[in-house]
Amino acid sequence: MERTSKLSGFYKLPVEERLKKIAQFADLNKEETEAISKTGSLPIETANNMIENVIGTYELPVGVACNFLVNNKDYLIPMVTEEPSVIAASSNSAKLIRESGGFVTNSTRPVMIGQIQFSGIKNIAHSRQIILENKKDLLDYANEQDILVRFGGGAKELEIRVVPTQNFGELLVVHLLVDCCDAMGANAVNTMCEAVSGKIKGLLKEGTVGFRIISNLATERIVRSRATIKKDLLGSDTIDRILTGYEFAFNDPYRAATHNKGIMNGISAATLACGNDTRAIEAGAHSWAGITGKYLPLTKYEKDQDGNLCLSIELPLALGIIGGATRVHPIARANLKITGAKTATELAELFASLGLAQNFAALKAIATDGIQKGHMKLHARNIAMSVGAKNEDQINKIVAQMIEEKKISMDRAKEIFEELK
Ligand code: MEV
């Protein structure tokens, strides 16, 4: 049989038939095929309705970050990640931070921006005036497209931008500002943009409607969290080392990228656990980090007059507690319940605090023992398991010996495993 990736009608097949075809194509053995088809708590029927061409489900560990005290309220944060050390690190930071009073947060309203782009408009200034003169009608029309108004949200404002291009002259771009309440908002915003674009086109009588889509640079949906860690809990030397590391990130994009990756280790894991769109969150965070034209860290560190360490974070977080996978994925629903967040904004403030804790843990570790000390033990466990060690006793022995020898590798783990057998 010809081996081709052109599988016409693949999407129409039942899940089992699809998997059979893929197993054939990729020469999957029985064990591999069963690993894909075995389901946990996400029913295959639900999975099949969530995305296209489903052949199975994929499990990752759900862990819980502990010790979070945010605005004097206790929280636990479920996280889904493949990376060892992440959850232990944020839990440790949160413990230290709660000893100094916990996190304090604030945020803007959960406003997303929808973009409606026009090209070929000759008189940009005149067109701008016409759109603004009709603002109320346009906002009303946008709000007819969705139920957000019923919850106190909806399209609230309309702004005009002019974007110069290399080959297509100036683009006129209308920004529709939509308060999305407890939804992430992409569907509502995109629907509104598509509807309103036609109305604007009718008003302008020139130009072409182009892109109509939400922006993930959610500059109107900003979340902030801060904490102070008492000098005595860290020591002045460690504080100075952390501050040096922060300034390193502030002045070097190579370091800033890793600094921000550490923040997103926390935020993306919690976002995934709660069935939200990790890519939207990442796009928003990184574009915000670069908004001044220089890629900067998402957190800030400084000392107060008493020498305590003040840390803070500010970033856009477009999270929802209703709609999408939060509704259909049973684990996402349960995880949201674990957070105890009653609004999307409360969830975002919690996740910003998590990002801050995650970042502080990384800076503290790198500034003192180095990141590998804590990381290596868990890494060694993964290696021990991947060479076939199954019971705790075997795993612990392989890990202990590799750490003592300072030689953590698959080859060494295999040798020790063989010796144990
Ligand atoms: C590893 O996943 C994340 C860190 O590299 C973050 C950082 O360097 O700040 C530890």
Please give the pLDDT value at position 80: 98
Please give the pLDDT value at position 37: 96
What SS3 string covers 184-217?
Answer: CCHHHHHHHHHHHHHHHHHHHCCCEEEEEEEECC
Q: 362 C-alpha to center of ligand 1: Å?
A: 6
CA pseudo-torsion sign 322, 325, 331, 332: negative
- The pLDDT mean for the chain works out to 95
3-state secondary structure of 20: helix
Determine the atom of ligand 1 nearest the C-alpha atom of 83. 2
Ligand 1 pocket test: pick from 258, 356, 375 the residue with the most ligand atoms within 8 Å of its Cβ: 258
Please give the pLDDT value at position 2: 75
- Catalytic sites, residue numbers: 83, 261, 277, 375
Q: 260 C-alpha to center of ligand 1: Å?
A: 8
Q: What mean pLDDT do residues 46-69 have?
A: 97
184-214 pLDDT tens trace: 999 999 999 999 999 999 999 899 999 999 9
Q: 58 C-alpha to center of ligand 1: Å?
A: 25
Please tell me the CATH code under which domain 374-420 is placed. 1.10.8
Per domain, the residue ranges of the chain are 13-50, 62-107+224-370, 111-215, 374-420
pLDDT at 406 over 90: no
283-311 pLDDT tens trace: 999 999 999 999 999 999 999 999 999 99
Helices 392-405 and 372-386, axial angle in degrees (round to 10): 130
* Band (226; pLDDT cuts 50, 70, 90): very high
Q: What mean pLDDT do residues 150-170 have?
A: 97
Residues having CB closer than 6 A to ligand 1 are 83, 258-259, 261-262, 265, 362, 366, 371
Please give the pLDDT value at position 372: 75
Q: What mean pLDDT do residues 169-174 have?
A: 98
Please give the pLDDT value at position 369: 79
What pTM does this model have?
0.91
Name the architecture of domain 111-215: 2-Layer Sandwich (3.30)
Q: Rounded CA gap, 195 and 178, in Å?
A: 14
Strand partners, 183: 322
Q: Atom 3, ligand 1: which residue's CA is nearest?
A: 262
CA neighbours within 13 Å on the CB side: how many for 106? 0
* Band (1; pLDDT cuts 50, 70, 90): low
CATH 3.90.770.10 fits 62-107+224-370, yes or no: yes
Please give the pLDDT value at position 376: 77
Q: Tokens standing for 53?
A: 């061409």
Share of the chain above pLDDT 90, in %: 89
338-362 pLDDT tens trace: 999 999 999 999 999 999 999 999 9
392 compared with 162, residue with greater pLDDT: 162
Please give the pLDDT value at position 87: 96
**Residue 176 per-residue DSSP state:** E
* Band (260; pLDDT cuts 50, 70, 90): very high
